[in-house]
Amino acid sequence: MKVLIYSAKAFEIPYLEKANRKKHNLTFVENALSSETAMQAVGYDAISIFSADEACFLTLEKLKDFGVKYICLRSVGYDNVNLRAASRLNIRVANVPAYSPYAIAEHAVSLLLTLNRKLIDSNERVKRYNFNLDGLVGIDLNEKTVGIIGTGKIGSVMAKIMNGFGCKLLGYDISEDKELISNYNLRYTTLQELCELSDIISIHVPLNSDTHHMIDEDLIFLMKKDVMIINTARGAVINTEDMIDALKKKQIGALGMDVFENEKGIFFKDQSQDIPDDPLLIQLNAFPNVLISGHHAFLTKEALTNIAETTLYNLDQWSKNKESDNELTDITT
């Protein structure tokens, strides 16, 4: 198959080429998919996209006209694809449902530890030979309560890691994981109670109409004043304006985020010479107790290998006129 890989990054191309084993004709472009860049897909059977690409109805209609039959996401999340429109247009869509929940959960823990122990500030001081310790006090995580919102693949790894730290676990999810209850003593509760009781809150739900702005001023109001919130899921699960208000009012202790509500068009490229004019990002960057990474929780060798292999598996299945286990669209051919 002729496949156009949108949003191709130098770090992932070798993994995709290796997994391809020269079976498909892959073309890599740096551009993200949008209604403007859909044109590039003329003559391709399939495209592959990542989280910053936008497959809205208009873009999908264009892709259909250009002959694209398949879309494989190189991501777990698929909030950027209008699946209903894709099904109607007979464009088959598949994702990589699990490539390494460890990569994301371990990154969430990295954000938490870095914030708690103020490692960035500490390292900046040491680089200037300032060994003063004032302002670097953290807390023991042992015995603290960690609230996990979304106890699926990533959230359950997060629960197990935090159990290893000696933390008490609370969970909120629309479906309960019995193993977390019996083996890790996690207690499921309401979102409100989780927010009230947790010292640390880690978010691992997908972005959908139910989870959009799930964390808003009403929930933040219930939280402990020194709560640490970690979001490696999707930016818009948090109402960013409410969060900034809470940070200004010192209603929360710290915020670690790998994802940002307005990250599309900003993340994944060097913007240091043309600083993005996003007032929310500029404000967040100004808080000493906010730590932002640029959506790179997935960036481990193991995850990149699995993403590439599953993406190529999806393409292989389609090229053999078979279904992929990872299909998100419901198309009867």
The residue (of 152 and 253) whose beta carbon lies closer to ligand NAI is: 152
Interface pattern 195-234 for ligand NAI (x via CB under 6 A)? ---------xxxx--xx--------------------xxx
Q: Is 16 in contact with 5 (CB distance < 8 Å)?
A: yes
Contact 22, 66 (CB under 8 A): no
| Least spacing, CB of residue 259 vs ligand NAI, in Å | 5
β-partners of residue 169 are 146
Candidates 217, 234, 261, 327; catalytic one: 234
> Any contact of residue 259 with ligand NAI (CB under 6 A)?
yes
Q: Does 242 bind ligand NAI (CB under 6 A)?
A: no
309 counts as catalytic: no
Q: Where are the alpha helices (DSSP H) in the chain?
A: 13-20, 57-65, 83-88, 101-116, 119-127, 153-164, 178-184, 191-197, 217-222, 240-248, 279-286, 301-319
Amino acid letter at 80? Answer: N
According to the binding rule CB under 6 A, does residue 325 interact with ligand NAI? no
Residues 160-179 that bind ligand NAI (CB under 6 A): 172-175
β-bridge partners, 148 = 171, 202
Q: How many angstroms separate the most distant Cα atoms in the chain?
A: 68
For ligand NAI, the closer CB: 210 or 270: 210
Residue 204 falls in the annotated catalytic set: no
For ligand NAI, which residue of 76, 186, 229, 308 counts as binding (CB under 6 A)?
A: 76
Written as one string, the DSSP assignment of 298-310 is: T-SHHHHHHHHHH
Contact present, 220 and 250 (Cβ < 8 Å): no
Strand partners, 333: none
134 touching ligand NAI, by CB under 6 A: no
Closest approach of ligand NAI to the CB of residue 79, in Å: 7
Q: Measured between alpha carbons, how far is 83 from 85 in angstroms, rounded to an integer?
A: 5
Choose among 306, 101, 307: nearest CA to 202: 101
Number of residue whose CB is nearest ligand NAI: 152
Q: How many residues bind ligand NAI (CB under 6 A)?
A: 29
Tell me: does residue 159 bind ligand NAI (CB under 6 A). no
107 is catalytic: no
Closest CB 236 distance from ligand NAI, rounded Å: 10
Which residues of the shown chain bind ligand NAI in the complex (CB under 6 A)? 76-77, 98, 101, 104, 150-155, 172-175, 204-207, 210-211, 232-234, 258-259, 295, 297-298
The catalytic residue positions are 234, 263, 295
